[in-house]
Amino acid sequence: MLNPLGKNPKFKGRRGPLVLCIMDGVGFGKYKDGDAFLNAYKPTLENMLKTLPNTKLKAHGTAVGLPSDEDMGNSEVGHNAIGCGRVFAQGAKLINKAIATGQIFEGEVWKETIANCKKNNSMLHFLGLFSDGNVHSHIDHLKAMMNKASAEGVKKIRVHILLDGRDVPETSALLYVEPFEEYLKKLRDSGCDAKIASGGGRMQITMDRYGANWDMVRKGWDIHVHGNGRFFKSAKEAIETLRKETKAIDQDLPGFVIQDDAGNPAGKIQDGDSVIFFNFRGDRALEITAAFEEDNFDKFDRAPRPKVFYAGMMEYDGDMKVPKKYLVNPPALERTSGEYLCASGVKIMAISETQKYGHVTYFYNGNRTGKFNETLEDYVEIRSDVIPFEQRPWMKSAEITDAVVKAIESGKYNFIRLNYPNGDMVGHTGIYESTIIAVESVDIGVKRLAEAVKKAGGVLILTADHGNCDDMYQHDKNGNLVKNKNGTVEAKTSHSLNPVPFIIYDPESKGEYKAKLKEGLGISSVAATCIEFLGFKPPEDYDPSVISFF
C-alpha cells in the first residue's frame, strides 16, 4: 500500500474536477496533405491552441520506452507512460534484449516448448502479426525463434501469418511474404520442414480485442487450428487473389488456408503440438489465448479442441496470469499515478468505449486489470459498434461526452479521465474523408466538455497517446506524396512519429503557474501535471510536470 501524496504548497486545486481527455491518435503532422487533424473543421480545438497554454509532447520511440526514435508510439505504451509518469522499457525493447542475450532461449518455457515437439515428433506453430511494424510484433523475433528451434532439432514448423497493413503500408504483405518464402526454403534445405500454413487480415481474423467481435477469433480458430477455410497453394497466391476479388487492403483480407501437395491443410494444429503466439503486445492477444487455454470457454464452439503446449511471447495480463506460459517477462510497472491518487483519497472515473476502455483502465494503471480501490474508482465502458469504423467515424464520442458531462455535473469525482478513440481507430482505416469527420466529432465533444468544466469550476487537460490521423498519406523521404499504379495517393494506416498536443483549459486560473508550458517533454509528464492540478506533489522520480509554478 502506497503512502498518500504530499500536499502541493503552491496549488490547492480547483473547486471542480480535473478532466483528462486523451484524444487517441491525434498529433501535429509534418505535411498538410493527408493531415486530417490539421484540415478538419475544429473551431474549439483551434481556438484553444491559439488562446490557451499549450505545448507539444513526444509520444514515440525512446520517449515511451521503445528501442529507437524510429519506432512509432502506440496506444498501449502511450497509456502506460501517461498513467505511470515514467518511461519503462517496453515490449519490443524487452524482446530484442532477450533474444540478443539468449535469455529467451534459456527460459523454462522455451525449453518446454521444444521438448514437447521433440517428445511427440510434432509441429511447432508460430501465430502472430506478420510484419516489422514493431507495435504488436516483429518478423525478426519470429525468424530468431525459428532458427533456434531448427538448430535444437525441431523438424516441423508451421507459421500462421496475420497480415498487417496497419502498422506498415496498407498493401505491403508481399514485401514480407516473398523473402520469407526464400528463408523457409533455406530452412527446408537444412532439414527442417518449415511452411506457411494459414493467414488472413488482422482486422478479419484472430486479433480482436476487448470482446468487441469474438467472431473474428472464431474465424481465426477455424482457419489456424482446423484448417477450415478457402484453400490456396501459397500465401502469395492467396494474397494476390483475395486482393483482386475484394479490393481490400491487407488488414481486411479474408482468412485463407495453405494446402499441401496432397490437397490437405499444410499445418492444422493437432494434439501434441506446440504453439507460440509471437505478438508481444497484450490487447489483441488475450482472446485467442483464452481460446487455447480456458477450459470453461463459451464464446464459440472450438471442437475439437487440440491438446497443445501453448505459450505467449509475453505475459499479456499480469492480474489474470494470462497466458499461463510465456517466453519473456513484461516490464514491472509499479507506483502508477492511479494507485497514488487512490492512496490519497481521490475519487476517480475512467471511461471510454470498448475499443479503448482497456487503455484508460488496464494500460493506464500499468497493465493491471482490477481497480486499486473499489470505493474510490468507477470504470465505465460504452460498447463500441461492431461495424467498420469508416462507416461510423463519430463512433461513441457523443455517448462518452454525455456520460462525462453528467459525471462533471454530479460533483462526485475529483479526477475524470476519458479516451476518444476516433483519431486512431478511424485513422487506421486509411479513409481520409472519414477521418476528417472523426476529428470533427472529437471537437464537438471537447466543446461540451469545456462548457461543463467551466460551469463546475474545474480544469480540462487535452492530450494524446500518439499520432495517427495527422499522417494519412504516404510520403517519400523527400516529402513527396507516394502514388499507386492507378495514380491515387497511397493511404497510410499506421501511427505517426509526430508530437501530440497538450492543452490546459483552466477557466478559474489565478495565475498560479506560468502560461508558457515546458517544451521537449514526453507524454510521461502528463501524470505529474495531473497530480499537481489535483493539489498534490508528484513523486520525486516521476518525469517533470509540464507546468511551472511561480
pLDDT at 470 over 90: yes
**In angstroms, rounded to a whole number, what is the distance separating the alpha carbons of residues 136 and 399?**
29
Q: Are residues 374 and 472 in the same domain?
A: yes
Closest CA to 256 of 272, 275, 288, 233: 233
Q: Are residues 297 and 386 in the same domain?
A: no
The CB-based long-range contact list for 187-192 (8 Å cut-off, 24+ gap) reads 187/146, 187/150, 187/157, 190/150, 191/150, 191/155, 192/149, 192/150, 192/154, 192/155, 192/156, 192/157
Q: Is 278 helix (H, G, I), strand (E, B) or coil?
A: coil
Q: Are residues 38 and 125 in the same domain?
A: no
Q: Are residues 53 and 187 in the same domain?
A: no
pLDDT at 334 over 80: yes
- Enumerate residues 6+ apart whose C-beta is below 8 A from 366: 80, 83, 84, 333, 334, 336, 339
Q: Are residues 363 and 512 in the same domain?
A: yes
Q: Are residues 63 and 137 in the same domain?
A: no
Q: Is 524 a catalytic residue?
A: no
Which has the higher per-residue pLDDT, 146 or 74?
Answer: 146
Write the CATH number for 455.
3.40.720.10
Q: Are residues 44 and 188 in the same domain?
A: no
Q: Classify residue 543: in a domain, yes or no.
A: no
pLDDT at 55 over 90: yes
Q: Is 459 helix (H, G, I), strand (E, B) or coil?
A: strand
Q: Classify residue 539: in a domain, yes or no.
A: no
CA of residue 256 relative to chain centroid, distance: 25
**In angstroms, rounded to a whole number, what is the distance separating the alpha carbons of residues 462 and 488?**
35
Secondary structure string (H, E, C) spanning 40-61 = CCCHHHHHHHHHCCEEEEECCH
Render pLDDT for 471-507 as a digit per residue (tens, 0 to 9): 999 998 899 999 988 889 999 988 999 999 999 999 9
Q: Are residues 285 and 169 in the same domain?
A: yes
Q: Classify residue 491: in a domain, yes or no.
A: yes
DSSP classification of residue 428: G
CB atoms within 10 A of CB 480: 11
Helices (H), 165-255: 173-189, 214-224, 235-246
Contact present, 76 and 283 (Cβ < 8 Å): yes
- Enumerate residues 6+ apart whose C-beta is below 8 A from 431: 390, 491
Predicted local confidence at residue 489, as pLDDT:
93
Q: Considering its fold, how many domains does the chain have in total?
A: 2
Region of 165 please: left (phi>0), alpha (psi -120 to 50) or beta. Answer: left
Mean pLDDT along residues 283-305 = 96
Edge-to-edge strand order for the sheet containing 459-463?
Answer: 54-57, 500-505, 459-463, 18-23, 415-420, 348-353, 377-382
Render pLDDT for 402-455 as a digit per residue (tens, 0 to 9): 999 999 999 999 999 999 999 999 999 999 999 999 999 999 999 999 999 999
Predicted local confidence at residue 321, as pLDDT:
81
Q: Are residues 296 and 373 in the same domain?
A: no
Q: Take residue 124 and report the three cell numbers written for it.
A: 511447432
CA dihedral of 60, 63, 66, 71, whole degrees rounded to 10: 30
Q: Is 456 helix (H, G, I), strand (E, B) or coil?
A: helix
Mean pLDDT along residues 169-183 = 97
**In angstroms, rounded to a whole number, what is the distance separating the alpha carbons of residues 363 and 393?**
24
**In angstroms, rounded to a whole number, what is the distance separating the alpha carbons of residues 38 and 227?**
46
Render pLDDT for 42-51 as a digit per residue (tens, 0 to 9): 999 999 999 9
Edge-to-edge strand order for the sheet containing 231-232?
Answer: 231-232, 256-258, 193-201, 156-163, 124-129, 274-277, 309-314, 326-328
Per-residue pLDDT band at 318 (split at 50, 70, 90): low
Q: Are residues 96 and 86 in the same domain?
A: no
What percent of the chain lies above the pLDDT cut of 90? Answer: 91
Render pLDDT for 184-202 as a digit per residue (tens, 0 to 9): 999 999 999 999 999 999 9
Which has the higher per-residue pLDDT, 484 or 398?
Answer: 398
What residue numbers bound the domain in which 490 lies?
18-90+332-533
**In angstroms, rounded to a whole number, what is the distance separating the alpha carbons of residues 244 and 241?**
5
Of 345-354, 466-475, 479-488, which gets the smallest average pLDDT? Answer: 479-488
Q: Is 158 helix (H, G, I), strand (E, B) or coil?
A: strand
Q: What is the b/e burial string over 27-63, where b = at least 16 CB atoms within 10 angstroms of the residue's CB? A: bbbebeebbbbbbbebebbeebeeebbbbbbbbbbeb
Which of 68, 75, 434, 548 is flagged as catalytic?
75
Q: Are residues 353 and 311 in the same domain?
A: no
- Bridge partners of residue 462, in order along the sequence: 21, 503
Write the CATH number for 207.
3.40.1450.10
What mean pLDDT, rounded, does the chain reach?
A: 96
Q: Are residues 312 and 338 in the same domain?
A: no
β-pairing verdict for 309-314 and 156-163: unpaired
**In angstroms, rounded to a whole number, what is the distance separating the alpha carbons of residues 74 and 463?**
14
**In angstroms, rounded to a whole number, what is the distance separating the alpha carbons of residues 212 and 275?**
24
